[in-house]
Structure 1
Amino acid sequence: MKGWKPSDRGYRLWPGVLLLVAASSASARADEAGLSFWLPGLQGSFAAVPTEPGWSFATVYVHPSAEAGANARFPRGGQVDVGVDGRGNLFAFGPTYTFEQPLWGGQASLSLLAIAGRNYASVDATLTGPGGTVSGSRSEAITGFGDLFPQFTLKWNDGVNNYMTYATGNIPVGSYDPDRLANLGLGHAAVDGGVGYTYLDPGTGREFSIVGGLTYNFENPDTDYKSGIDSHIDWAASQFVSEQVHVGVVGYAFHQLTGDSGEGATLGDFRSRVFGIGPQIGYKFEASDTTDGYVNLKGYYEFGAKNRAEGWNVWLTLAFSPAAKKPD
Structure 2
Amino acid sequence: MKINSRIAATAVLVAVSTQQASAVEGGLGAYLPGSRTSFAGIVPGPGSYVGLDLVTSSGSVTGLSLGGLPIRADTDLKLSFAKFSYTYVFDAALWGGTPAININIPFVIDANLTFTGITPPLVGVPIDDTTSGVGDITITPMVGWHSGMLHYSAGFSIFAPTGSYSTASIDIPNRTINALNTGKNIWSFQPVFAVTHMNPDTGLEFSGAASLLFSTRNKATDYQNAPALNLEGAVMQHLPSGWAFGAVGYVYQQLDDDSGSGAAATKAALGASSLQARVFGAGPMITYSGATIFGQQASFQFKYLTEFGAKRRFESDTLWLNFAITF
TM-score (norm 1): 0.88
Q: Which has more helix, going by share of residues?
A: 2
Q: 1:123 aligns with which of 115, 131, 135?
A: 115
Question: In 2, distance between residues paired with 1:24 and 1:285?
Answer: 32
Q: 2:214 aligns with which of 206, 213, 216?
A: 216
Matches within 5 A, 1:94-243: 94-116=85-107, 117-125=109-117, 135=123, 136-179=125-168, 180-243=178-241
Deviation at 1:12, TM superposition (A): 5.2
Residue identity opposite 2:211 in structure 1: G
SS at match of 2:26: helix
Q: Which range moves more in the overlay, 197-206 or 181-190? A: 181-190
Identity among equivalent positions (%) equals: 27
Matches within 5 A, 1:22-41: 22-25=18-21, 31-41=24-34
Post-superposition Cα deviations, 1:131-169, rounded to whole Å, max 9, x if no partner, equal x76553311111211111111111111011111111002
The answer (yes or no) to whether the contact 2:144–2:151 under 8 Å persists in 1 is yes
SS at match of 2:91: coil
Give yes or no for the alignment of 1:281 onto 2:289.
Answer: no
The answer (yes or no) to whether the contact 2:139–2:157 under 8 Å persists in 1 is yes
Deviation at 1:20, TM superposition (A): 3.6
Q: Which range moves more in the overlay, 219-228 or 260-269? A: 260-269
What RMSD over aligned residues (CA atoms) do the two structures have, in Å? 2.0
Question: In 2, distance between residues paired with 1:15 and 1:253?
Answer: 19
Residues 210 and 152 of structure 1, relative CA distance in 2, 3 Å threshold: same
Gapped regions of structure 2 (runs ≥ 5): 169-177, 268-273
Residue identity opposite 2:37 in structure 1: G
Deviation at 1:78, TM superposition (A): 3.3
Question: In 1, distance between residues paired with 2:7 and 2:261?
Answer: 52
SS at match of 2:301: strand
Give yes or no for the alignment of 1:19 onto 2:10.
Answer: no
Post-superposition Cα deviations, 1:198-246, rounded to whole Å, max 9, x if no partner, equal 0101111010110011011101121111111111111111001234110
SS at match of 2:12: coil
Post-superposition Cα deviations, 1:87-110, rounded to whole Å, max 9, x if no partner, equal 111011031110110110111111
Residues 318 and 288 of structure 1, relative CA distance in 2, 3 Å threshold: closer
Question: In 2, distance between residues paired with 1:291 and 1:156?
Answer: 25
Aligned residue pairs, count: 308
TM-score (norm 2): 0.88
Question: In 1, distance between residues paired with 2:93 and 2:295?
Answer: 22
Residue identity opposite 1:306 in structure 2: K
Give yes or no for the alignment of 1:73 onto 2:63.
Answer: yes
Corresponding residue for 2:307? 302
Residue identity opposite 1:118 in structure 2: D
Deviation at 1:10, TM superposition (A): 7.4
Question: In 2, distance between residues paired with 1:258 and 1:98?
Answer: 36
Question: In 2, distance between residues paired with 1:313 and 1:12?
Answer: 23
Question: In 1, distance between residues paired with 2:214 and 2:283?
Answer: 28
Question: In 1, distance between residues paired with 2:110 and 2:69?
Answer: 23
Corresponding residue for 1:87? 78
Question: In 1, distance between residues paired with 2:237 and 2:65?
Answer: 42
SS at match of 2:209: strand
Deviation at 1:13, TM superposition (A): 4.2
Gapped regions of structure 1 (runs ≥ 5): 323-328
Residue identity opposite 2:64 in structure 1: F
Residue identity opposite 1:67 in structure 2: S
Residues 169 and 317 of structure 1, relative CA distance in 2, 3 Å threshold: same
Residues 137 and 9 of structure 1, relative CA distance in 2, 3 Å threshold: closer
The answer (yes or no) to whether the contact 1:23–1:185 under 8 Å persists in 2 is no
Give yes or no for the alignment of 1:313 onto 2:312.
Answer: no
